[in-house]
Amino acid sequence: MSAILQVQNLVKNYGDFKAVKGVSFDIEEGEIFSLLGPNGAGKTTTISMLSTLYTPTSGDAIIGGHSITKDPMGVRGIIGIVPQDLALYEDLTARENLIFWGQMYNLSGKSLTTRVDEVLEQIGLTDKAKDRVKTYSGGMKRRVNIGVGLLHKPRLLFMDEPTVGIDPQSRRAILDTVKDLNKQGMTLLYTTHYMEEAEELSNRVGIFDHGEMIAIGTQKELTQQVGEAETLILHVGENDDSEALAKTLKDIQGVQQATAVDHEVSVVCAEAEEVLAAVVTKANDRGIKIRSIDIREPNLEAVFLHLTGRALRD
Amino acid sequence: MLKTFLIGIKDVRLAFRDRAALILMLAAPFVLTVGLGLVTGRFSSKTSSGISDIPVIIVNLDNGQLGNALADVFNSADLADLLEPAIGSDPEAARKSIDEDKAAAVVIIPEGFTKSIIPQQSDFANGNVVAADPVKIEVYANPSRSTGAGIVKAIVDEFLSRVEEGRVSETTSIEQLMFSGRITPQQALAIGSAMSEGIETTAPASTLAVKINSSTANGDAVKFDALAYIAPAMALMFLMYTVSYGGRSILAERAQGTLPRLLVSPTNSAQILGGKVFGIFLTGAAQMLILIGASSLFFQLKWGDTLGVIVLVLAAVFGATGWGMFITAIARTSAQVANIGMSITLIFGIMGGSFINLEQLPFFVQTFSKITPNAWALDGFTTLGLGGTLTDLSAPVIALLSMGSILFLVSVVLFGKKNLVQK
Ligand SMILES: Nc1ncnc2c1ncn2[C@@H]1O[C@H](COP(=O)(O)OP(=O)(O)O)[C@@H](O)[C@H]1O
Ligand SMILES: [Mg+2]
């Protein structure tokens, strides 16, 4: 396998603020690569540079042999982009949107209309193709947004958090589409702050935080970094102080990390059974009632927690 | 080139699908045209199929060739449907019947009218070859029938301008008078011989030989067809709205993410900006042509020489598009463009003569009006409405094209500085 994308020490500053601090990684032809990181990590900024919208402060990336800084036009023909925020004409129909964007990607005539029909089929909107986009649900709009990125059959598709803010059904449909596209040979760079999506979709994951790639590898390689650690998830009552509980739990022998998000406390430890009793006792001592406990095998959430001391979703 | 075109077409489509924009682009100028037309009495003297049977009294005290020719014009078969002429002999009595609203206008051809224009054989005989001061024809108009009176005045004007042309170049005048059925070949012979002798030797080509002295019962100026002024004035005023709407869409596309999406497609920024400008231009031109079409259809309004109208519309839209770009280039958000655009629509509308004829405004306003596309284009449309053609439009067309070009250059420089996307 060869790299379709090579990112070389990419930097982006907004004034004094360093949004991306020298990131390097490769994406192999044919894989789904996920950039996993919390909001504000710098995922969109990175994608914006790779898609030639923003000029990097320094560094470069080579996509299919074209430099994003020296040959942006060459890059644009190879890549497709599904931006995080919808970028559609709401007063045009889905079909009119796809036709227009197809034209902007140099498609025309019969090949344009056939391709538009194919894409409508693929995103499941053939029946609604003649309705204006503004009449669509959030999930349907997202699917059109994706469709636009597929028209010219890009070799490398950037998808920036395509499932944010939609219903579970549409989300499922989108994840399935992503897998289909990959099966048909498309390489994907997928950004998300949902660990489950990265786990389900990707061959390899890059964990992104504060403008830096803090870990990269297959899910297996990454979880091995935290050892054989397991995660205990405690669900506590609405009025309980989960933050304070997390703090005290860190003192327990064998607990590597403990963090609280809303009414959930995550406890990373080598062996769940060993610490379970102590955890429950501590909670009782503080008068906190534990409603339920889950034990999870090592996952990307735990990796993030291990590396940053923070939960992914805060 | 192709993409520029496609982006422009897309923008026209979007503009015509935006109900709020449609109201301001088409409904508002149309309704205002009707409203102001009603106020000025444009519709009061006409039936649904148009104007007809305008009562007019001709008092011919001249009884020379030209006076008779003018009287014949009013009695000609061509104008039989439009006019209902009556012959009067006493100017005072005729004026009185206007005051009693019995006719739309009185045309008084004074004694010695022909003689004052065409030197008579007797003048040559006794060596008096200097033409007398032209004697004025009086059109006494009924203010409550301004449309009818306007038409009468226009007919007299037309006749006099032909005669005037004749004084300058006698042959065409004779041909035209004859061609238009206004004089008979016999008369042509007589007039022609008299003119060719008289004009060449006596009349300086530059003096205005014929003056029209028009008056109404209350002293108001008479207009030919109020709508011929109102309709273009309203269309031009809301053209300024349309161009600011178009400019606004540039910043709106940035905010809604479609501009960044365009920028990462294999389309360069010149094509994109060009497409946006082309879209503004096309939308404005479509708006103007629809309004012109509608007023021709519903009000039988004659805009004049077709080629002239088309060229003037394109020039006016070009000048206005320059303003749309300029507003966009100096504004930060699309809301700002909307506000500035609305203000400019109104200010240019008023200062450019859309509501009050510029001649009635103070001098500094007349000067200021030269920066508005409205004033120049309105000037052009008035010229066309009065029978002018493309060749009479060079001043407004050149002014509008220069205005557009200068504003484009300034805007492009400003756009370059401001960076349409965050870099
Ligand atoms: N145009 C901008 N100007 C200044 N700061 C920005 C801009 N865009 C993003 N940022 C900041 O850069 C950081 C990274 O943002 P972003 O790339 O959108 O993160 P993510 O997509 O991972 O949520 C955030 O702190 C954000 O506030
Ligand atoms: Mg983002």
Distance from CA of B268 to the nearest CA of A (A): 8
Complex-level ipTM? 0.84
Quote the pLDDT of residue B146: 64
Distance from CA of B350 to the nearest CA of A (A): 33
Pairing, β A3-14 against β B46-47? unpaired
Query: Which residue is closest to B267 within chain A, CA to CA?
Result: A104
Under 8 Å CB-to-CB from B68, ≥6 apart: which residues?
Answer: B60, B62, B187
Mean pLDDT across the stretch B241-265? Answer: 93
B19, B265, B272, B420: best to mutate for the A interface, most A CBs within 10 A: B265
Cβ < 6 Å from ligand 1: which residues?
A 14, 17, 19, 37, 39-45; B 422
Mean pLDDT across the stretch B296-315? Answer: 91
Task: State both tokens at A303.
Answer: 């990796």
Query: Which residue is closest to B266 within chain A, CA to CA?
Result: A76
- Who among A53, A85, A100 is closest to B264 (CB)? A53
Question: Whose C-alpha lies nearest to ligand 1, atom 27?
Answer: A40
Residue B184 has pLDDT above 60, yes or no: no
- Who among B18, B266, B421 is closest to A73 (CB)? B266
Which of B73, B230, B79, B241 lies closest to B146, judged by CA? Answer: B230
Query: Which residue is closest to A50 within chain B, CA to CA?
Result: B264
For all residues of chain B together, what is the average pLDDT? 79
Mean pLDDT across the stretch A256-269? Answer: 86
Query: Which residue is closest to A92 within chain B, CA to CA?
Result: B14
Residue B166 has pLDDT above 80, yes or no: no
Angle B391-B304-B393 from CA coordinates, rounded to 5°: 25
User: In chain B, which residues have their Cβ closer than 8 Å to the Cβ of A71?
Assistant: none
Q: B114-144: per-residue pLDDT in tens?
A: 877 776 655 555 555 454 566 788 888 877 6
Amino acid letter for position B372: T
Mean pLDDT across the stretch A262-271? Answer: 85
Contact criterion met (CB < 8 Å) for B10 and A76: no
Contact criterion met (CB < 8 Å) for B262 and A104: yes
Quote the pLDDT of residue B207: 30
Amino acid letter for position A51: S
- Who among B3, B257, B421 is closest to A87 (CB)? B257
Quote the pLDDT of residue A45: 97
Q: Which residues of A touch B (CB under 8 A)?
A: 14, 48, 51-55, 73, 76-77, 79, 81, 83, 85-89, 91-92, 96, 100-101, 103-106, 148
* Closest ligand 1 atom to Cα of A48: 17
**Number of the ligand closest to the Cα of A160:** 2
Query: Which residue is closest to B272 within chain A, CA to CA?
Result: A104
Distance from CA of B276 to the nearest CA of A (A): 14
* Closest ligand 1 atom to Cα of A37: 22
Distance from CA of A308 to the nearest CA of B (A): 30
* Closest ligand 1 atom to Cα of A43: 22
Q: Which residue has the tokens 């349409």?
A: B420
**What is the Cα–Cα distance from A40 to A44, expressed in whole angstroms?**
8
Amino acid letter for position A65: G
* Sheet hosting strand A187-192, strand order edge to edge: A79-82, A156-160, A187-192, A32-36, A204-209, A212-217
Within B256-333, residue ranges assigned H as helices are: 258-263, 269-299, 306-330
Share of chain A above pLDDT 90, in %: 66
Distance from CA of B419 to the nearest CA of A (A): 11
**Number of the ligand closest to the Cα of A20:** 1
Position B219 confidence tier, pLDDT thresholds 50, 70, 90: very low
Contact criterion met (CB < 8 Å) for A83 and B258: no
Quote the pLDDT of residue B133: 65
**What is the Cα–Cα distance from B129 to B115, expressed in whole angstroms?**
12
**Number of the ligand closest to the Cα of B422:** 1
| Strand (E) or helix (H) holding A6 | strand A3-14
pTM over 0.80: no
Position B183 confidence tier, pLDDT thresholds 50, 70, 90: low
Taking CA atoms, B217 is separated from A57, B101, B277, B286, B318, in Å, by: 78, 10, 51, 42, 43
Residue A31 has pLDDT above 50, yes or no: yes
The CA dihedral of B119, B122, B127, B132, to the nearest 10 degrees, is -30
Residue B187 has pLDDT above 80, yes or no: no
Mean pLDDT across the stretch B57-62? Answer: 89
Quote the pLDDT of residue B168: 55
Three-class HEC string of chain B: CHHHHHHHHHHHHHHHHCHHHHHHHHHHHHHHHHHHHHHCCCCCCEECCEECCEEEEEEECCCCHHHHHHHHHHHCHHHCCCEEEEEECCHHHHHHHHHCCCCCEEEEECCCHHHHHCCCHHHHHCCCCCCCCCCCEEEEECHHHHHHHHHHHHHHHHHHHHHHHHHHCHHHHHHHHHHCCCCCHHHHHHHHHHHHHHHHHHCCCCCCCCCEEEEECCCCCCCCCHHHHHHHHHHHHHHHHHHHHHHHHHHHHHHCCHHHHHHCCCCCHHHHHHHHHHHHHHHHHHHHHHHHHHHHHHHCCCCCCHHHHHHHHHHHHHHHHHHHHHHHHHCCCHHHHHHHHHHHHHHHHHHCCCCCCHHHCCHHHHHHHHHCHHHHHHHHHHHHHCCCCHHHHHHHHHHHHHHHHHHHHHHHHHHHHHCCCCC
Q: A47-73: per-residue pLDDT in tens?
A: 999 999 999 999 999 999 999 999 999
Contact criterion met (CB < 8 Å) for B14 and A101: no
Quote the pLDDT of residue B181: 57
Quote the pLDDT of residue B213: 39
Quote the pLDDT of residue B200: 35
User: Which of A10, A16, A17 best tests ligand 1's pocket when mutated (most atoms within 8 Å of CB)?
Assistant: A17
Residue B48 has pLDDT above 70, yes or no: no
Asked if residues A36 and A61 have their Cβ atoms less than 8 Å apart, the reply is no
Quote the pLDDT of residue B167: 63
Q: B333-386: per-residue pLDDT in tens?
A: 888 999 999 999 999 998 888 777 776 777 788 888 899 999 999 989 988 888
- Who among B17, B267, B421 is closest to A53 (CB)? B421
A47, A81, A89: best to mutate for the B interface, most B CBs within 10 A: A89
Quote the pLDDT of residue B208: 30
Residue A191 has pLDDT above 90, yes or no: yes
User: In chain B, which residues have their Cβ closer than 8 Å to the Cβ of A76?
Assistant: 264-266
